[in-house]
Chains A and B, each alone.
Chain A
Amino acid sequence: MSAAQETAALAPARAKQRAISPSRGGRPWTFYVLAALFTFYVVALYGPMICIYILSFQDVRGGLVFPMKGLSLHWFIDLFTQVRTGDVKGAFDRSIKLAILVTVITVVVSFMAAMAFRRRFPGDNVVFSLMIGSLVAPGLVLGIGVGLLFNALGIDTSWYGSALGAQLSWTLPFGVLVMFAVMSRFNPAWEEAARDLGATPWQTIRLVIIPVLAPGLVAVALFGFTLSYDEFARTLQTAGPQNTLPLEIWSMTLNVTSPSLYALGTVTTIISFTIIGTALGAIVLMQKRRGARAGGH
C-alpha cells in the first residue's frame, strides 16, 4: 500500500477526531459563568412564587413571613369558609366565566380576521393598525376610558359587559397576531384543492382550514384564557360592583393579613397550570392520534 493510499484511509478517522475535539478536555470557563447566570435567572423567576406556595401550607399559627410554622391545609379551608376573606368563590367563578367568554370571542374573531387578511383589501393597513393600537395604550388608562364611556352612555359597568370589552381590547390583538403567524404557514393551494374537488366554501372551512389550523387555534385559546384570567389593569375600572379574581386578590392584600392570601395564590396557580396542561395535552393528543393512525395498519 502506498503512502498516499494510507493517508487517504486515515483521513476520515482524523476528520472524526477533529469534529468531537471541542468537548474533549473539559468545558470552557464560559460554560460555568453562563450556567451560574441561568441558575440565578431561574431562582429569581420561580423563587418568590415558590416561597408563597410553601408558606400557604402552614398551620393555624402561621404568619406572613418565614420561618414556616407547622404544616397543614388550614388556610385553604379558611379561604373558602371565612367571610372576612371576601367573596373568593364568587370571584373565582366570575373570572372563569369571563375567561371562557373572552377565549371563545378571541378565537372566533382572530380566526375570522386571519381569514380576511389572507388577501389584501382597501384600507387593510388601517384596520390592522387600529387592531394592534390598543396593545400600545396603557392598560389602566384604557380601563378608565372604557369605564367613563359606559358611564357617559348610562350603562352600568359589569364584569360581563364593560370588563369583557376592556379585556378583549387586550386579547384580540394578541390573538390576531398569533393567527397571522399561524396563517403564514397555511398553503392557499389547500383551499384551492378542496374547491377543485367539489367542496363548498363551508366544507372547505370545516374539513380543511379548521383541522389544519387546530393547533394554532388552541394556542390562541390558551392565550386568550390566561391573559383574561389574570388581567388586572383594564379590569380595575370596568368590573363594576363584583370583583374578578385578580381584583379580589388585590383587595385582599390590602385588608387580609393571614396566609389565606398565599393559599389563594397556590390555588389559582394550580388552576392555571391545569388549564395550560390540558391545552398542551390536547395538542399532543391531536398529533399523537394522527401519528397513531399513520403508524397503524
Chain B
Amino acid sequence: MVSRGDIELAGLSKSYDGVHSVVHGINLKIPDGAYCCFLGPSGCGKTTILRMIAGHEDPTDGEIVIGGENVVGLAPVQRGTAMMFQSYALFPHLSVRDNIAFALRVRGMSKADRYRQTDAMIEKVRLTELAERLPAQLSGGQQQRVALARAAITEPRVLLLDEPLSALDEQLRVQMRLELQRMQRELGITFVHVTHSQLEAIALADMVVVMEAGQIKQAGPAREVYASPMDRYVAEFLGGQNVLSGKVETIEGGRLMFAQPDRMTLAAPLRGNLRVGIGDRIDVAVRRDDIELLRPNAAISPQNQSALSSRVLAIEYQGSFVKVMLDAIADEEFVAYVPERVFFKDPLSIGDVVLATWAIDHARLLERT
C-alpha cells in the first residue's frame, strides 16, 4: 500500500553540462509524514535534489516517485509539492494576505472565497494582526511564517524547505525550529528540509540524510546517524566524535588492536558486518562525551579502558559542559566534553598533562571509503 506523501528517488542523477554530475544515482525512500533532513556542505547537491523533487529542475536520469506516481516532467502543482524558498521569496508588492492567497488566486477562485480560506490559514500561523502588512514590514520570523502559510495553502502532500532557517539569527532559529515541528505535526504531511547545520538536522528530523559530493553517505534516524556514524566523513560532519586512525596489528576475541603513527597501540571492538584484516588502515570514532580525563598517575584497567596521554591545548567553558582540546593525535582535533561539575572538582589548566580514557566498548570501528 502506497501512502500519499511518500517519496522514492530511484537512480536520480543530475548533470548541468553533461560531463560533471552534481547528483549521482541517488536511491532513497522517505516515508509518508516523515520529517526528512538533507544534510551536507554547500555544493554537495542537496539543494539540487530538493529542486528536482519540487519540479524546478529536471533530472538527467532516474525517477522521482511521489505516492506511487512518477512525477518527473510534471508541474509543481500537479506533483502536490510546495516549496519554501531560502530567502522566502515573498512577493514584495503583495500584503501578507495576498501573498498567502496567491495560489488560490491563480486557480481563479473568487476574492471572497480565497480570503475566507486564507484567513483560516493566517490564523493557523498566528499572523492575523499582520494580514495587511507588506513583507518588508515583517521580521524574519514573521516572513518565515508567511512563506510557510503560502506554501501550505496549496494543501501539498510534500513540503520542501530550502535552508529555511539560515536567514534568521541564532535565537530565532531555535524558536522557528519548534514552529516547523509544530506545523509538520499539524499538517501531517511529509517535510523535506535541506540544511548545512547538523544541529538543525538532528533536532528536527525523523530521518537524516548525510550527503557528500552528490552521493548519500548515510541515511537514518537522527540518533543513529549522530551516535553511530558509518565513516569518518559522517562522524566529522555531525561532530561530537573524535576520529582516530591506525593500522591493524592483531585481531583477537572480538577486538582488534591498532597502532597509530608514533603513538601507543589502542583497542577497538570489531563490528559484525565490517571485515578487517591485519595491516589494514582503519578509522575508529570515540564520542567526545565518552572521554574521561584523569591525572597522569591515576589507575586504569587496561582490560576495559583505552588511554592516551596528552597535553591540554585549550579549554572552552560551554555552560553545561567544558570543552577540553588535547594534542592526543598529531595534526588532528581531539576533544573531550567534560561535564561542568566534574571538571570543576579538579580543574585542569592549559599545558597540564592528562590521561584521556574511554571504555573500549564505546569506541566504534568506522567503514573506510
Contacts and interface: CB of A to CB of B under 8 A. Distances in A.
Given A212-B91, A212-B92, A197 B106 contact: yes
A290 B93 contact: yes
Interface in A116-166: none
Contact of A297 (B76, B81, B132): B132
Interface string B105-130: 11100000000000000000000000
A190 interface: yes
B257 interface: no
B56 interface: yes
B89 A197 contact: no
A187 interface: yes
Contacts of B87: 187, 189
B56 A197 contact: no
A198 B95 contact: no
A16 interface: no
Interface stretch (A77-85, A107-115, A170-178, A199-207): A199-207
B358 interface: no
A211 B56 contact: no
A196 B106 contact: no
Interface string B141-164: 000000000110010000000000
B134 interface: yes
Nearest to A197: B103
B304 to A, nearest CB: 55
B202 interface: no
A165 B90 CA distance: 40
A67 interface: no
A20 interface: no
A182 interface: no
B85 A208 contact: no
A120 to B, nearest CB: 13
Interface residues of A, number: 24
A189 B56 CA distance: 11
A197 B82 contact: yes
A17 to B, nearest CB: 33
B89 A193 contact: yes
Nearest to A206: B106
Given A290-B134, A293-B132, A297-B132, A212 B95 contact: no
A189 B103 contact: no
Given A189-B87, A193-B91, A195-B76, A294 B133 contact: yes
A14 to B, nearest CB: 32
B95 A293 contact: yes
A275 B219 CA distance: 64
A12 interface: no
A297 B87 CA distance: 27
Q: Which of A200, A207, A295 has the most B CB atoms < 10 Å from its CB? A: A207
A296 interface: yes
Contacts of B131: 297
Contacts of B22: none
Interface string A273-297: 0000000000000000010011111
A93 interface: no
A207 B102 contact: yes
Interface string A215-253: 000000000000000000000000000000000000000
Nearest to A296: B132
Nearest to B87: A189
B95 A192 contact: no
Nearest to A204: B106
B137 interface: yes
Interface in B49-92: 54-56, 75-77, 81-83, 85-87, 89-92
Nearest to A208: B91
B86 A294 contact: no
A190 B81 CA distance: 17
Contact of B137 (A196, A199, A294, A296): A294
A198 B89 contact: no
A193 B85 contact: yes
Contacts of A196: 54-56, 76-77, 81-83, 151
A198 B107 contact: yes
A289 to B, nearest CB: 10
Nearest to A198: B77
A208 B132 CA distance: 18
Contacts of A197: 76-77, 82, 102-103, 106, 150-151, 154
A189 B89 contact: yes
A91 interface: no
A144 B75 CA distance: 53
A203 B106 CA distance: 7
Contacts of B105: 207
Contacts of B93: 211-212, 214, 290
A194 interface: yes
A192, A195, A196, A203 — most chain B CB neighbours (10 Å):
A196
Given A214-B93, A294-B137, 18 more contacts: A189-B89, A190-B92, A192-B56, A193-B150, A196-B54, A196-B56, A196-B81, A197-B76, A197-B151, A198-B103, A198-B154, A199-B102, A199-B106, A203-B106, A211-B93, A293-B95, A294-B132, A297-B132
29 contacts: A187-B87, A187-B89, A192-B56, A192-B89, A193-B85, A193-B90, A193-B91, A193-B150, A195-B56, A195-B76, A196-B55, A196-B76, A196-B77, A197-B77, A197-B102, A197-B103, A197-B106, A197-B150, A197-B151, A198-B76, A198-B107, A207-B105, A207-B106, A208-B91, A212-B91, A214-B93, A290-B93, A290-B134, A293-B95
